[in-house]
Amino acid sequence: MLTRKQHELISFIQNRLEESGISPSFEEMKEALDLKSKSGVHRLISALEERGFIRRLPNRARALEVIRQPEGAVAKPARPAPVLAENVTPLRPQAPMTRTPANDVIELPLHGRIAAGMPIEALEGQSTLPVPAALLGAGEHYALEVSGDSMVEAGILDGDFALVRRTNTARDGEIVVALVRGEEATLKYLRREDGMVRLDPANAAYEPQIYRPGEVEVQGKLAGLLRRYH
């Protein structure tokens, strides 16, 4: 038999999943149940998980699945069947669309701002950024906060979060995270010209940067962007 708070929590999670497809955050669960701390939410989730009511999806943030409802839970009423006019052929029901669960969120390492004099390695493991898995493809990814306006004409603004697929190779014309002389991390278009490496900005106010091949190390390719609106 579940406690009142356990009932409230599983109902809150199920309702949120049905409404938006995204399981609520621990902060949202804490506020909804009027708890004083997130540790109370952790205890409730662990208890529900042990009893087989919910489960956590591995390697995903905010990924909870309701396996079964408590006895006595009221199911939502089914929608009435549509009434068809005479001589109208009903459409065949389509197969359900396959989609990535909206609550499939991945915590990417957030290495900090791309700024002069700050190698990416020096920023490893500082914090994480929750990112919808649908924005990412295969491979290992990390996030960087963009500093400056050198890529505005490519739609990359100051304060955006660049989602980067980790790689040390790239083709001409791709936007890369380049580490210059082992010191300065920058986000630019990569081009090779006359045996040199050219890092092109996307802003007419800035000049291309030209280096010898050994001075530039590709540390990733741009895979996507996240922008916060305040």
Last residue of a domain, one of 19, 44, 66: 66
pLDDT of residue 41: 80
Domain assignment present for residue 190? The answer is yes
First to last CA, the chain: 44
State whether 109 and 222 are in the same domain.
Answer: yes
* CB atoms closer than 10 angstroms to residue 212: 10
Residues 203 and 152 in one domain: yes
Mean pLDDT, rounded, of the chain:
76
Query: Is residue 87 one of the residues assigned to a domain?
Result: no
Residue type, 170: A
Assigned domain for 84 exists: no
pTM of structure: 0.53
Q: What angle do CA 208, 214, 217 make, to 5 degrees?
A: 70
Residue 218 placed within a domain: yes
CA distance 175 to 169: 11
- Which of 43, 66, 89 is a domain's end point? 66
**113 and 206 share one domain:** yes
Question: Which CATH number characterizes residue 201's domain?
Answer: 2.10.109.10
Question: Range with the lowest mean pLDDT among 3-7, 47-51, 92-96, 195-199?
Answer: 92-96
pLDDT at residue number 215: 92
∠ CA 25-49-104, rounded to 5° = 40
Range of the domain at 169: 105-226
Tell whether 140 is covered by a domain: yes
Residues 61 and 111 both lie in one domain: no
* Bridge partners of residue 145, in order along the sequence: 113, 161
Among this protein's residues, is 36 annotated catalytic?
A: no
Question: Is residue 156 in a domain?
Answer: yes
Inter-CA distances, 82 with 53, 78, 97, 154, 219, Å: 34, 12, 21, 48, 56
135 and 206 belong to one structural domain: yes
Same domain? 163 vs 116? yes
Confidence of residue 159 (pLDDT cuts 50, 70, 90): confident
Structural domain contains residue 112: yes
Q: Are residues 110 and 206 in the same domain?
A: yes
Q: Are 199 and 168 in contact (CB under 8 A)?
A: no
**Is 220 in the same domain as 124?**
yes
Statement to judge: residues 111 and 44 lie in one domain = no
Number of domains forming the structure of the chain: 2
Q: What is the CATH number of the domain that holds 25?
A: 1.10.10.10
HSE-up of 202 (CA within 13 Å, CB side)?
Answer: 17
pLDDT per position as a tens digit, 66-100? 888 876 554 444 344 334 334 433 334 433 433 44
Which pLDDT does position 91 carry in this prediction?
37
Given 23, 30, 147, 188, which residue is catalytic?
Answer: 188
Strand pairing report for 141-145 and 105-113: parallel
Catalytic residue among 23, 147, 150, 221: 150
Whether 129 and 38 map to the same domain: the answer is no
What does the pLDDT look like over 160-212, one tens digit per residue? 889 999 999 999 999 999 888 877 888 999 999 899 999 999 888 889 999 99
Share of the chain above pLDDT 70, in %: 76
- Examine the domain organization and report whether 58 and 130 are in the same domain: no
221 a catalytic residue: no
**Block residue for tokens 């920058």:** 186
Instruction: Return the pLDDT at 3.
Output: 85
Same-domain pairing of 131 and 37:
no
Do the Cβ atoms of 159 and 145 come closer than 8 Å? yes
76 lies in a domain?
A: no
